[in-house]
Amino acid sequence: MARIVMKFGGTSVADLDRIRNVAGRVKREVDAGHEVAVVVSAMAGATNQLVAWCQSLSALHDAREYDTVVATGEQVTSGLLAIALQDIGVEARSWQGWQIPIETDGAHGRARIDAIEGAELLRRMRELRQVAVVTGFQGLGPDHRVTTLGRGGSDTSAVALAAALKAERCDIYTDVEGVFTTDPRIVAKARKLDRIAYEEMLELASVGAKVLQTRSVELAMKEKVRVQVRSSFSDAPGTLVVDEDEIVEKEMVAGIAYSRDEAKITLRRVPDRPGVAAAVFGPLAAAGINVDMIVQNLAADGTTDITFTVGKADLPRTEATLKEIRQAIGYGEIAADRDVAKLSVVGVGMRSHAGVASTMFRTLAERGINIQVISTSEIKVSVLIGAEYTELAVRALHSAYGLDGA
Amino acid sequence: MARIVMKFGGTSVADLDRIRNVAGRVKREVDAGHEVAVVVSAMAGATNQLVAWCQSLSALHDAREYDTVVATGEQVTSGLLAIALQDIGVEARSWQGWQIPIETDGAHGRARIDAIEGAELLRRMRELRQVAVVTGFQGLGPDHRVTTLGRGGSDTSAVALAAALKAERCDIYTDVEGVFTTDPRIVAKARKLDRIAYEEMLELASVGAKVLQTRSVELAMKEKVRVQVRSSFSDAPGTLVVDEDEIVEKEMVAGIAYSRDEAKITLRRVPDRPGVAAAVFGPLAAAGINVDMIVQNLAADGTTDITFTVGKADLPRTEATLKEIRQAIGYGEIAADRDVAKLSVVGVGMRSHAGVASTMFRTLAERGINIQVISTSEIKVSVLIGAEYTELAVRALHSAYGLDGA
């Protein structure tokens, strides 16, 4: 007998049949003797509709009213799932964020969870064998109004609830079978991982593997919540996201991720003097622009080229900011390139295995793929390449690191 | 400067354009210097969809979960209207039933309002000139869960809020221009009434004029709330529902209503002995069946015929109940007739004018319409006739009482 949290995303509760399917899955866990709390998202499409209404009425809508409107999606699902569970003989009741409460800060539209009062839920799970059906994505702010956590927030709700209830596992049910070594739409031989370390998942999530929301992985790592990613449409075991110590056979590389969401900017002929990097990146930070990879090359004439990447959506604001400071810095010109992709190989095994980076560089060189920028962390190597080489590069690296499955 | 409550039904907030229209109407009242609270229903169709989902998942669904699901309709509208108001420069915020709170009893799905804590709303209306956008139809039960008031409950919410805020008027915006002397779809010459007394409105509402929910009129009468029924699609003044004393020129008849929702039952050859009526109607009351008109005729053979009406929906249960008690009572047979209509003429003027009933009987007799059952109250005369005569009878009576307009 264990205590578990099960989380079902929007596609898993998209219509009444799927809600019935979810109820059946929950019943199996209850019948197996487990104490179960369920976290639900809005029915697929519902949130988009509600967001569109708010935006259509006012481009600059009040985030508190937006939260009031958008949070109804999860409320509907929670009530419907409770009804579906009762209909098959499972004790259940729905819980809204404000009823528990799930206390958040006051940042409407992107709130962070401060505390969850789980005592009453626990009592009912134990004494009444009652399943708690909890709305994901929402909470109660200090202003006594409904808050939402931002897109993908239901994953975070589930992990936070699992921590509050001291659950043994948090199962995230989604429309994929688990975490793969890379995107199966690009590499047919991609393998599902049985286990992955929190830090690896974090790096993969932040570079474009959209299985879990980054914040939920950070929270799971901090609170030591064992997370399982699995499909709500099959019975296959999923991927367990756990502490590094629980993974005995560490592969050198766990996975390969890619992202086409970044753009490259090069400032040419920047005067090579102390403080020039701060003069460039200070104003960008002040403008709220997130800079990712950075490289600087010294030229023969005593000037330097500074190359870096930003999110594509931030490109216009980045160029505008750089033009404003051109006089003060005295660079030659700005060149922007949107046709780039960032490739990352990730694995905690890198800490003990040498040669991960050199394998990457050699493999790409053999395919004639030019590396434009390189950045590394303790468990990750990322390179920027021309976007048209993305698939070719991902396939080559997947083979080179021995990740290809049957 | 006045304090007013404005209530908008589902058709008035059916889409974003209509919500913008409502916002414009509210702004006009604010610009005129009034303190305004708005009560909103769900967007037309939304509640039906939510109800259908609950019913589809389980015929015997938990009323508490039903309330959780169905109350989201009003929550969405309240947030959207607040956004629309802010967009045109009107200070506004949405309020859910649980936030105010609107306290109700624990009868989920058909709760009654116990109390409304209006102090904070009032403070904001006064000090911040902030419009309170309040969800109709819902409240907070003693179990700290969302309750709903039953169909048409938003009218009751509006009147209760007007009473709590001591508002000078409660304007009910709907898709008709006001209260008419009879159904304009039947009588082209039906006139809109400028004023109508609470008691008249109550009688008309209970016999099929679907403009206002009966409970809301009862509450308005009890709390002396001046209610105005008017159209959200025109600027014409509506009908003021007020105390009888405020109506100087009392017409003998204010309006004529009809209902095809009842069925007639006749028990033939019932033994004529004391207590037999109680033996018939006691078991029906115990089964929760509402009996309306009753008439008893003595036959020459010492038995009696008992005729009465029940709601058409209750007919099968009524017949079943009567069959169960046949042995005990010893009646001859049951005859049921669904092809009947109830016609009612209503007016507080009846108290001082004689001859209302005789005008009715003579008018119907002249058209060859047979009266099957008669019932009267202080301000109402009702008759049961064959359903096929409904339109003919309504038109004839409308002329006979001098109600025809230009």
Residue A207 pLDDT greater than 70, yes or no: no
Mean predicted confidence (pLDDT) in B115-129: 96
What pLDDT band is residue A334 in, cutting at 50, 70 and 90? very high
Sequence spans of domains, chain B: 3-175
- What percent of chain B lies above the pLDDT cut of 70? 99
Nearest Cα neighbor of A318 from A267, A381, A271 is A267
Task: List, in sequence order, the alpha helices (H) in A168-237.
Answer: 198-206, 214-223
Contact A87 B58 (CB under 8 A): yes
More confident residue, A349 or B387: B387
C-alpha span between B248 and B256 (Å, rounded): 20
A-interface mutation test, from B13, B40, B49, B72, most A Cβ less than 10 A away: B72
- The pTM of the full predicted model, rounded to 2 decimals, is 0.86
The predicted pLDDT at position B354 comes to 79
Residue B131 pLDDT exceeds 70: yes
**Spatial distance between the Cα atoms of B182 and B187, rounded to a whole number of angstroms:** 7
How do A255-259 and A227-231 pair as beta strands?
Answer: unpaired
**What is d(CA A288, CA B403) in angstroms, rounded to the nearest whole number?**
71
CB A359 within 8 A of CB A401: yes
**Per-residue model confidence (pLDDT) at position B251:** 78
Asked if pLDDT for residue A273 goes beyond 90, the answer is no
Confidence of residue A221 (pLDDT cuts 50, 70, 90): very high
Task: Say if the Cβ atoms of A99 and B20 lie within 8 Å.
Answer: no
Distance CA(B75)–CA(B73), nearest Å, equals: 5
CB–CB contact A87 B54 (8 Å): no
Q: What average pLDDT does the structure give for chain B? A: 93
What does the alpha-carbon distance between residue A54 and residue B161 come to, in Å, rounded to a whole number? 27
pLDDT digits (tens, 9 = 90+) for B321-379: 999 999 888 899 999 999 999 999 999 988 888 789 999 999 999 999 999 999 988 89
pLDDT, greater one: B99 or A350:
B99
Which of B64, B79, B145 lies closest to A68 in CB terms?
A: B79
- How confident is the model at residue B301, as a pLDDT? 81
B99 compared with A213, residue with greater pLDDT? B99
Contact B68 A16 (CB under 8 A): no
Lowest mean pLDDT among A308-317, B123-132, B202-211, B379-388: B202-211
Name which of A53, A72, A98 is nearest B72 (Cβ-Cβ). A72
Q: pLDDT tens across B281-337, in order?
A: 999 999 889 999 998 887 778 888 999 999 999 999 999 999 999 988 889 999 999
Contact between A83 and B99 using a beta-carbon 8 Å cutoff: no
Mean of the pLDDT values across residues B379-396?
A: 95
Helix, strand, or coil here: A22?
A: helix
- The pLDDT value given to residue A298: 79
Does B57 sit within 8 Å of A16, measured CB to CB? yes
pLDDT at B241 over 90: yes
Q: What is the structure's pLDDT at B207?
A: 64
Q: In the A/B pair of chains, how many CB contacts fall below 8 A?
A: 111
What dotted CATH number matches A3-175? 3.40.1160.10
Mean pLDDT of A295-318: 88
pLDDT at A135: 98
pLDDT band at A113 (very low <50, low <70, confident <90, very high): very high
More confident residue, A99 or A295: A99
Residue B209: pLDDT over 70 = no
C-alpha A266/C-alpha A228 separation (Å) is 41
For residue A219, is pLDDT > 70?
Answer: yes
A246 versus A35: which is more confidently predicted?
A35
Closest CB to B69 among A61, A79, A99: A79
Q: Does A246 touch chain B (CB under 8 A)?
A: no
B9-62: per-residue pLDDT in tens?
Answer: 999 999 999 999 999 999 999 999 999 999 999 999 999 999 999 999 998 899
Give, rounded to a whole angstrom, the gap between the first and last alpha carbons of chain B.
36
Predicted complex ipTM: 0.85
Dist. CA A54–CA B83, nearest whole Å = 7
